[in-house]
Amino acid sequence: MADAMRILIADDEPVIRMGLKTMLEEHGYKVVGEASDGEQAVILAGKTSPDLIFMDIKMPGLDGIAAASTIMTRSPKPIILLTARDDLDTRLEGMYQGVSEFLTKPINTHELYARVRAQLHIVDLGRQLQTVERNLRTLRTRGTPPSSRS
C-alpha cells in the first residue's frame, strides 16, 4: 500500500472511537478525524477528505444515515455504517443513501479488516479509473493519429 488509507470515524461513544482508531492504526491505516455526532462528521468529511468513513447509525442530532446522505451528496465517499442492530429496514435505508457496507457491533476484528481491505481495493480501482479517464482526455485534446487500417 503506497499511501495509508485515510479514515474518518464518527461514533458518539468515545470508547468505540478509541478502540476502532487503535485497531485501524495498528494495521497502518491513518485516522484523519473523529466525530461524536453526524453534523461534526459531515464537516470533518469535507475538511479531511477521507478515503473511507466509519459512521455509527445512532448519534445525537444528525444520525448516521442522514449524515451519510449529506456526505454522499457533497463528495461521495465509501461509508461503512456501524450498527448495534441488524435489521433489514435500516440496511435498505442506508444502501438507498449510498452506504457501502454495514458492520455490526461489537466489532469483530477479522470482519473489520476484511471490510477495510475490500474498500481499499474499491478506492484503488476508482483511482485507476480516474487515471485512465485523464489519459483519455489528454489523448483526445492532443488529437489521435489517423487510423492505420488498410
Is residue 148 in some structural domain? no
Cell numbers placing 16:
468505540
The domain spanning residue 52 has which CATH number?
3.40.50.2300
- pLDDT at position 138 is 86
pLDDT at residue 7, as a whole number: 95
Residue range(s) defining the domain that contains residue 93: 6-140
Q: What is the predicted pLDDT for the residue at 149?
A: 54
1 falls within a domain: no
Flag residues of the chain having pLDDT under 70: 1-2, 91-92, 94, 96, 144-150
145 belongs to a structural domain = no
Residue 83 has a pLDDT of 86
pLDDT recorded at residue 44: 97
Asked if residue 132 belongs to a domain, the reply is: yes
Query: 54-81: per-residue pLDDT in tens?
Result: 999 999 899 999 999 999 999 888 999 8
128 belongs to a structural domain:
yes
Please tell me the total count of domains within the chain: 1
- Cis check: omega of the bond before 106, within 30 degrees of 0: yes
Dist. CA 137–CA 144, nearest whole Å:
11
Question: Which residues lie closer than 8 Å to 80 by C-beta, 6 or more apart?
Answer: 52, 53, 54, 55, 99, 100, 101, 102, 103, 115, 119
